[in-house]
Chains A and B, each alone.
Chain A
Amino acid sequence: MRRRRQELLLGALGVLLAFGVCEAVGRAGLVSRSYLPPASEVLARAVELAGDPVFLDGVGATVRAWAIGLGLACAIAVPLGLLLGSVPVVDEAVRAIVEFLRPLPSVALIPLVSLLLGSGTETKVALITYASVWPILFNTVYGLGETDSLAKDTLRAFGFGRLSVLLRVELPATAPFIAAGVRISAAIALILAVATEILAGFGEGLGIFIAQSGLSTDGTRDVLAGVVWAGALGLVINSALVWGERRLFPWTPEHRGTR
């Protein structure tokens, strides 16, 4: 317990130190203040933005695209992963295709999808979905492979069919792996949401706020305030998912979170 408190204290000290260094660098005038404003100014601006309805609408638009994309990715990847994981022939057959699609950096698809769908929400959602499918899909397949075969055999020996083995043993055993996949995808989805918005440059969203501030003179303070928001958003999402995993699957070592 004391150790934990000491760690928290040290962490808080670390945050203060980092803040102090940024503040000092900003004030020292090593670089022009319009390039790198002091941390306190950035933070004040970030707080100020919390009361700006236009900005909040933008953040809402980003979060909405993120949530729809991630939801679609789950709806596609989990059933597909269960299919691939439980029918080896299908897995074998599509593996080569998947191995070629997966390493394609998804931001490279932004120009093509923008040509196809314009630069609205559909584009964002499509790209987020595409990028988020892979981690969930792979974790589902991997988790199925790790299922206790004794439990499966027992159920089969009692005459349960394939579907009920899947629902009673395999799906519950795979759930923690799927959750870990969703957590990885959540971070990727946020990257795609912000990246697409920055490149689109108009409409509404957190990325658009950042991109537009970057173009205006003395806009760095706003850009950095937007970055603070983006980081906080990522942190909140990740913490919520880790917390959910801990509550739902307390027995897995997975939830100690490596990514």
Chain B
Amino acid sequence: MRGGKAARSALLRWGVLAAAIGAWQIATRTHTSVYFPPPSEIARHTHNLWFSGPPTHAFLTPDATENILPSLARMTTGFALAAAAGIALGTALGRSRRAYALCNPVLQFARAVPPPALVPVFVVIFDFGTQMQLASIVFSAVWPVLINTAEGARNTDPLRIDVAAVLRLTTAERLWLLFLPSALPRIFAGLRLSLSLSLILMVFSELLPGTANGIGFTLTDAQSRSDLLTVWAALVLLGALGYVLNTGLLAVEKRLLGKGRPA
């Protein structure tokens, strides 16, 4: 019974998606526009451009290894640095009410700055290149994790803190057994926001003139040549990337929160 229902719902979802792509295909075929190429051509172009390489290179073309991989590396490094710094600083701040009160206004301001506004500052300081891009990603992605972690650690059940004091847990034990588990749901809420910010800043910092490679560079390069097929291909790639990353993070969250959560 349940299986049948799930199958029907999956059929509905993917069926409608397929129908929408079909309608798009027909519309663009009958009503040819330079700006809206048919999806079949976008798919073919995506394949030719990036995924038609030799099996020895995991089917990646040189274009893909030169542009997609650096982008991914920058994004994941930036996100990892921001996550690590955010969780560490956030836990430290969340454990002391005074420290939290001291930093809160500054944090609120830092978070309110729209991240792209700071990119020109990093361009001046670091010049164009990976350093500037990493700095932009880290600086924008760190705040959601930091603030959420601090909030989460602050809301640790006071009763459990008392128990930990009675049991004479060491600081490390308290961190590991008390603060982190109770902050974990909030940490993940922050991580999800940070992940999408990392992706946004990765693309944005590559869109700026002066970058030499990356998916964002591919986009601006194609835009300047009015190569609409490549623009669309890059968009599809970025959408898929965002989907995969988000789904991955959700899976990790489910595993960690489902099992490791204290009763």
Contact = CB atoms under 8 A, between A and B. Distances in A.
Q: Do A and B come from one complex?
A: yes
Interface of A: 6-7, 10-15, 17-18, 31, 35-36, 89, 92-97, 99-112, 114-116, 187, 190-191, 193-195, 198-199, 206-207, 210-211, 213-214, 219-220, 223-224, 226-227, 230-235, 238, 258-259
Contact of A104 (B20, B125, B189, B235): B235
Contacts, number: 172
Q: Secondary structure of the B side of the interface?
A: helix
B239 A101 contact: yes
Given A103-B243, A107-B207, A191 B115 contact: yes
A35 B151 CA distance: 34
Interface residues of B, number: 65
A88 to B, nearest CB: 9
B124 A191 contact: no
B118 interface: yes
Interface string B168-196: 00000000000000000010010001001
B220 A111 contact: yes
B231 A112 contact: yes
Interface in B100-137: 101-106, 108-121, 123-125
Contacts of B118: 227
Contacts of B203: 105, 107-108
A223 B122 CA distance: 10
25 contacts: A14-B103, A35-B124, A93-B13, A94-B16, A96-B14, A96-B17, A103-B246, A105-B199, A105-B238, A112-B223, A187-B112, A191-B115, A198-B117, A198-B119, A199-B208, A211-B120, A213-B120, A214-B124, A224-B121, A226-B117, A227-B113, A230-B113, A235-B108, A238-B112, A259-B193
A115 B223 contact: yes
Q: Which 3 A-B pairs have the closest CB atoms?
A: A103-B242, A234-B112, A214-B120
B117 A258 contact: no
